[in-house]
Copies of this chain bind each other. A is one copy, B any other.
């Protein structure tokens, strides 16, 4: 439906618009990309492309600008061609810095987003695994104050989380150890969501039962898991504010609200984390209205089948996709490798 020549013109327009943030005219295309065609011919082709919904004009006498569909075509041919941006030296350098932090997942992810945004000049995002996919490796209970217990949760993904739990009555460290042993034997190896379900079941049983230690154990377990959730890390808002795409105050507000909410972005990343490889969402392809004006390039990090996090970049639809894809792909691969061999 799109002949070779039209494809080339379309890609040229998109590429040029990505490189220079002004609507691109037929003259520019004819000149800068040696098609051996006159501006008039290019004009006709561009008019066709507009009719097909790949390009639009901001106003009658301006050049053309890609629509989301136009970007999509461009990105697809980019991926098909496999020609991304290359800049290996810088990446390796930065990854070295990251490696030093691998033992502290929070700091690690925080630093990852900073690296992503620094490299791309867009917004870097990273998310730790969703609780329903996180498997409990071990739980330890440490007596804290008289009626308080610190629960330390170790997960297979390498996360360590602690949570203080208030109890009705004082419990000795010895009892806590017994409770921990019980919980470990019972729940180790299960995902947090599975545990939550089983805990609910046990609780109804526990009521009729009178082993107070077990009922305490169940209660502790429930509380320990309660607030556990995937954390979202975001950085680089100031980077995108430098772009000419963000001179519109309204757009900036929307973006900063979306970032502070976290909710929208978490939902989005959650959805994308199931897939293999780099995922690209362009503008309105996104189902969330708040993100309609932005593009998202993400990749899940998996250890075998188990997702251990998501990293990505958020930027304007007029994004340097080649670079973004390259950075995200490599970062995800690096993290995966690093976490697996840990």
Contact = CB atoms under 8 A, between A and B. Distances in A.
A28 interface: no
A233 B142 CA distance: 27
Dominant secondary structure of chain A at its interface with chain B = mixed
A214 interface: no
Interface string A12-41: 000000000000000000000000000000
A160 interface: yes
A188 interface: no
A62 interface: no
A162 B166 contact: no
A303 interface: no
A140 to B, nearest CB: 6
Contacts of A237: 237, 256, 260
A152 B154 contact: no
A104 B166 CA distance: 11
Interface residues of A, number: 31
Contacts of A165: 103
Interface stretch (A86-94, A127-135, A247-255, A315-323): A247-255
Interface string A150-164: 101010000010111
Given A152-B152, A160-B150, A249-B247, A103 B166 contact: yes
Interface of A: 103-104, 107, 140, 142, 144, 148, 150, 152, 154, 160, 162-166, 227, 235-238, 241-242, 247, 249, 252-253, 256-257, 259-260
12 contacts: A103-B165, A104-B227, A107-B227, A140-B142, A142-B152, A144-B160, A150-B152, A152-B162, A238-B256, A238-B257, A238-B260, A241-B252
Given A140-B142, A238-B257, A241-B252, 14 more contacts: A103-B164, A103-B165, A104-B164, A104-B227, A150-B152, A150-B154, A150-B160, A152-B162, A237-B237, A238-B260, A241-B249, A241-B256, A249-B249, A252-B252
